[in-house]
Amino acid sequence: MPLVAHNDLPTFQRLRDRGQDVLTAERASHQDIRELHIGLLNMMPDAALAATEHQFIRLVGACNQIAQLFVYPFSIPELNRGPEAQQHIRQHYSDFNSLREQGLDALIITGANVANPSLEQEPFWKPLMEIVAWANDNVASVLCSCLATHALVKFNHGIERTPLPKKQWGVYSHNIEEPEHPLTWEINTRFDAPHSRYNDVSKEQLEQAGIKVLASCDGVGVHLAVSPDQFRIVYFQGHPEYDAVSLLKEYKREVTRYLTGDRVDAPRFPENYFSQEARDIASTFLQTAVDAKSRGKPIPAFPEDELQDLVHNTWGDTGKAIVNNWLGMVYRLTNLDRRLQFMDGVDPDNPLGIR
């Protein structure tokens, strides 16, 4: 169903250009279709700000519910931003205080980069927790990605994440553990999903807190879980929103850091992502770049265009299906008829009757 371009956010035009149905606000005002209003708290660093915004809005726009979908990106002022990102946020993003007054049906919270040993030391921690506390009481459901998942399980359940011996980085095959849950209904029982993280919250930690694990991968961990009430908070430890080239761009960034001396070792390849041809191209570039640097010569350009033709998105359809199922649950829960049923014996802790 259509997204509504309620402002001039460039992502809306990019999606139109790719063939996605995006209504103008004027056209939407003449359609008698129910609306869903979804906040998108984008905490990603400047380099990934617009890409992450685009990825999540695209997932929402793939929903097949009969609704007009209004997405409101916003961020946290305490995050350190450069001038270009600040201008983008000022021009195109909403203010949380305004959204709080307006009301939202659901909220998506992205990951974020961290620089401190504990999450409580991060500048985003206090404002994020204020938003989460508000959302717990005022939106139908919250969907979290990666770092946001670690922050919310800590806030809601006191679960501490554990540093990994090395970065969990690549594309991994996962199994559905609860195929009858509405979030995983009729999706592939085995599917790929990308991970990119230095820390982990284990299946055992989540289950001890009453959180239901819906999809996981042996040796990698949990990808998808849901709060004890089965719906109010959806936890992704991986990245269903990633584009085919997202891991490639991360690899390019780490290679650049290595060549500029910001990291001491060359980065590993993301697991299960590069073909042998792509590995050969990347290895040849790295050796050429290191040799050029050692001789004081200019470092050649990273072969991004060549490599992006060799990487593939093997997780997108499943990510869309899960987010579609989530928005379907939001749609049901926020339906007036469903709300009226609270007066008629519906369990407020499980209004959708999920077993």
pLDDT tens digits, 158-189: 999 999 999 999 999 999 999 999 999 889 99
pLDDT for the residue numbered 333:
85
pLDDT surpassing 90 at residue 11? no
**Model's pTM, two decimal places?**
0.87
Which one has a higher pLDDT value, 296 or 22?
A: 296
DSSP state of 79: S
Backbone CA torsion sign across 14, 131, 66, 24: negative
Q: Assess contact for 119 and 111: CB atoms under 8 A.
A: no
pLDDT tens digits, 66-107: 788 999 999 999 999 999 999 999 999 999 999 999 999 999
pLDDT for the residue numbered 95:
96
Kindly report the three-state secondary structure assignment for every residue of 264-287.
Answer: CCCCCCCECCCCHHHHHHHHHHHH
Q: Over pLDDT 90: what percentage of the chain? A: 77
pLDDT for the residue numbered 28:
54
Considering only CA atoms, give the Rg of the chain.
21
pLDDT for the residue numbered 341:
47
Q: Name, in order, each residue with C-beta under 8 angstroms of 170's C-beta and a sequence gap of 6 or more.
A: 194, 195, 247, 269, 270, 271, 272, 273
pLDDT for the residue numbered 300:
95
pLDDT for the residue numbered 8:
78
Which one has a higher pLDDT value, 35 or 154?
A: 154
What's the rounded Cα separation, in Å, for the pair 323 and 229? 18
How would you class 88 by CB atoms within 10 Å of its CB: exposed for 0-12, middle for 13-18, buried for 19 or more?
A: buried
Catalytic positions, please?
Answer: 146, 239, 241
pLDDT for the residue numbered 349:
61
- Cross-sheet strand order for the sheet of 3-5: 22-24, 3-5, 68-74, 35-41, 106-109, 141-145, 233-236, 221-226, 212-217, 162-176, 190-200
Q: Which of 117-121, 126-130, 199-203 has the lowest mean pLDDT?
A: 117-121
Average pLDDT, the chain: 90
- pLDDT band at residue 244 under the 50/70/90 scheme: very high
What's the rounded Cα separation, in Å, for the pair 1 and 196? 30
pLDDT tens digits, 208-243: 999 999 999 999 999 999 999 989 999 999 999 999
3 state DSSP class of 57? helix
pLDDT for the residue numbered 331:
86
What's the rounded Cα separation, in Å, for the pair 349 and 232? 9
What's the rounded Cα separation, in Å, for the pair 212 and 203? 9
Q: Assess contact for 71 and 3: CB atoms under 8 A.
A: yes
pLDDT tens digits, 300-329: 999 999 999 999 999 999 999 999 999 989
**Residue 135: both structure tokens together:** 């959302």
pLDDT for the residue numbered 340:
46
Q: Name, in order, each residue with C-beta under 8 angstroms of 72's C-beta and a sequence gap of 6 or more.
A: 6, 37, 38, 39, 40, 94, 99, 104
Q: Assess contact for 255 and 283: CB atoms under 8 A.
A: no
Mean pLDDT on 122-139: 95
pLDDT surpassing 70 at residue 353? no
Amino acid at 205: Q
Mean pLDDT on 284-289: 97
3 state DSSP class of 177? coil
pLDDT tens digits, 249-270: 999 999 999 999 999 999 999 9
Domains, the chain, ranges and CATH? 3-243+314-344 (3.40.50.880), 246-308 (no CATH)
Strands 162-176 and 141-145: unpaired
pLDDT surpassing 70 at residue 346? no
